[in-house]
Amino acid sequence: EPEVTQTPSHQVTQMGQEVILRCVPISNHLYFYWYRQILGQKVEFLVSFYNNEISEKSEIFDDQFSVERPDGSNFTLKIRSTKLEDSAMYFCASSWDSGTQYFGPGTRLLVL
Amino acid sequence: AQSVTQLGSHVSVSEGALVLLRCNYSSSVPPYLFWYVQYPNQGLQLLLKYTSAATLVKGINGFEAEFKKSETSFHLTKPSAHMSDAAEYFCAVSGDNAGNMLTFGGGTRLMVKP
């Protein structure tokens, strides 16, 4: 069964450093998403991406964040200058249409 | 704006007992509703979804949920809990936005006692 994959599974970085989180969505899906879950808190929407552009973003998704689909398979989330409060589990998801979103296993980001 | 409330951050049941996890939502448009499960150190797995067809939705692992518009609820049930059901369960809603954003509830951690 096709699945969303994410790399790396864990990332530790220093405050102020740039990180890139990578996702490979399910191959025939058209909509792509990033969510995050700070430890002990609810899952929060960051951004959705369709037809090579952002279709919606949350207040969390400020100028420090960017997304890109550099080729036909990868979908990346970049944080330019990480802050301590960016420490969280980051989930990528994809969907064929506006219905069910399928989630990857997540990348646990720790900012020191 | 859409929102989801899950009553009870922790629910404990005995093995074989009924599981009931509560979810109430608000949405200005007919919603799509989802239940996801998260096992320890894993991602979110879809349990079931409601997309305006039958109001009683059956999912994987014996779970089901009933959409009640009058109560704005989408509670998750399972007749008989198994130890393997111990996990965190998230209710989510979408539909009230252009970008298909899912809004999640706070989650309910289900514990199953032997």
Higher pLDDT, B58 or A1: B58
Which chain B residue's Cα is nearest to A41? B106
What are the residues whose beta carbons fall under 8 Å from the beta carbon of A40, sequence distance 6 or more? none
pLDDT digits 0-9 by tens, A61-110: 999 999 999 887 899 999 999 999 999 999 999 998 877 899 999 999 99
Residue A85: how many CB atoms within 10 A of its CB? 10
Contact A44, A37 (CB under 8 A): yes
A43 contacts in B (CB within 8 Å)?
44, 90, 92, 102, 104, 107
From the list B37, B33, B69, the residue with the least C-alpha distance to B51 is: B33
Q: Mean pLDDT of successive 10-residue segments in chain B (114 residues)?
A: 90 97 87 91 88 87 94 96 96 76 94 96
From the list A32, A28, A85, A43, the residue with the least C-alpha distance to A62 is: A85
Residue A42 CA, chain-centre distance (Å), reads 15
Judge whether B40 is closer than 8 Å to chain A, CB to CB.
no
**Predicted local confidence at residue A44, as pLDDT:** 95
Are residues A42 and B105, on separate chains, in Cβ contact within 8 Å? yes
Judge whether B90 is closer than 8 Å to chain A, CB to CB.
yes
Q: How far is B72 from chain A (nearest CA, A)?
A: 19
pLDDT digits 0-9 by tens, B30-53: 788 999 999 987 889 999 999 877
Sequential DSSP letters for chain A: ----EEE-SEEEE-TT--EEEEEE--TT--EEEEEEE-TTS-EEEEEEEETTEEEEE-TT--TTEEEE--SSS-EEEEESS--GGG-EEEEEEEESSSS--EE---EEEEE-
Which chain A residue's Cα is nearest to B100? A98
